[in-house]
């Protein structure tokens, strides 16, 4: 059974412990781990400090999964001594409810490191897809843009939050409405994904709506 060291966002770490219960062992000492998972999405400096600590405390052949929704793994690797160990992974609260998780090796991720990481995911029964190393990956990027548009509609008082969510669920067969999704993912994460996309692409279509910034700063949800 693989020994896992978790570092980062406590709510996501707790979800990992529950999801991997009976499938993996957990340690508080990174030097004993066979797989490292860093679940911090933002702020960037915090994630960087955590990765540098992990790297210094573990052997060079141990895979490091690092959440890469707000910063591509290739970007994170520029601050590491051994960037070939890093594999991006799309992590957010409620990730275990999804049918599949996204992982993103960079162009310099070591092939043996990636093989060991994929073996671990298969052993614990986690379905995954390999996606390009880009900010936001695929599902989080798309749903964040949908949430941003829904925030615009809501701020203009075109419709209530309940009507927005009901319309999207009935019209697209989504399991949740966009504002419900914002609460599940975390408004702060949605804002930071959009801000990172705007920074990387320099396009206004990714600009986070001010309502999301306000809600993040005040730690608010659309639904209490």
Are 122 and 179 within one domain? no
Clarify whether residues 149 and 97 are in a common domain: no
Range of the domain at 17: 3-130
When divided into structural domains, the chain yields a total of: 2
- For residue 165, the domain's CATH number is 1.10.1040.50
- Is residue 224 assigned to a domain? no
Distance CA 2, CA 153 (A): 47
Q: Are residues 101 and 180 in the same domain?
A: no
Reported confidence tier of residue 224, pLDDT bands at 50, 70, 90: confident
pLDDT in tens, 95-114: 999 999 999 999 999 999 99
Q: Do residues 59 and 126 both lie within one domain?
A: yes
Cα distance between residue 74 and residue 218, in whole Å: 32
Same-domain check for residues 22 and 100: yes
Residue 169 within a domain: yes
The predicted-structure confidence for 167-187, as pLDDT tens digits, reads as follows 999 999 999 999 999 999 999
Residues 109 and 14 in one domain: yes
Residue 222 lies in a domain: no
Strands 25-27 and 128-130: unpaired
Q: Which residue has the tokens 């992982």?
A: 103
Is residue 223 domain-resident? no
Same domain, 148 and 90: no
Instruction: Extract the tokens encoding 90.
Output: 């799309």
- pTM, entire model: 0.94
């Amino acid at each position: 059974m693989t020994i896992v060291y978790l570092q980062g966002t406590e709510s996501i770490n707790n979800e990992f412990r529950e999801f991997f219960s009976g499938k993996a062992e957990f340690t508080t000492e990174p030097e004993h781990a066979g797989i490292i998972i860093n679940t911090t999405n933002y702020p960037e400096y915090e994630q960087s400090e955590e990765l540098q600590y992990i790297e210094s405390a573990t052997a060079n052949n141990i895979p490091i999964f690092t959440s890469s929704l707000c910063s591509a793994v290739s970007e994170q690797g520029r601050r590491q001594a051994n960037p070939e160990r890093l594999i991006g992974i799309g992590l957010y609260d409620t990730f275990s409810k999804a049918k599949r998780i996204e992982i993103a090796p960079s162009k310099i991720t070591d092939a043996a490191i990636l093989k060991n990481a994929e073996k671990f995911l298969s052993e614990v029964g986690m379905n995954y897809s390999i996606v390009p190393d880009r900010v936001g990956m695929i599902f989080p990027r798309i749903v964040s843009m949908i949430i941003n548009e829904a925030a615009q509609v809501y701020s203009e008082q075109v419709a209530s939050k309940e009507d927005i969510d009901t319309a999207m669920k009935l019209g697209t067969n989504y399991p949740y409405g966009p504002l419900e999704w914002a609460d599940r993912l975390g408004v702060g994460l949605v804002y930071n994904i959009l801000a990172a996309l705007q920074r990387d692409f320099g396009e206004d279509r990714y600009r986070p709506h001010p309502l999301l910034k306000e809600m993040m700063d005040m730690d608010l949800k659309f639904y209490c």
